[in-house]
Amino acid sequence: MSDPKPQQLIDELDQILDRERAALMAGDLAKLEELLAKKEKAIGKLNAVTELERESLTQVHTKVSRNQELLDSAMEGIRAVAARMAELRRIRRGLDVYDQAGRRTRFGTRSATRLEKRA
Question: What global pTM score does this model have?
Answer: 0.68
Kindly give the residue spans of alpha helices, DSSP state H, lying in the chain. 6-26, 29-48, 58-93
In angstroms, the first-to-last Cα distance of the chain is 58
pLDDT category of residue 1 using cuts at 50, 70 and 90: very low
Nearest by Cα to 9 from 63, 56, 72 = 56
Rounded to 5 degrees, what are φ and ψ at 3? -70, 140
For residue 32, what are the CA distances in angstroms to 35, 39, 81, 89? 5, 10, 19, 29
Mean pLDDT of 87-93: 83
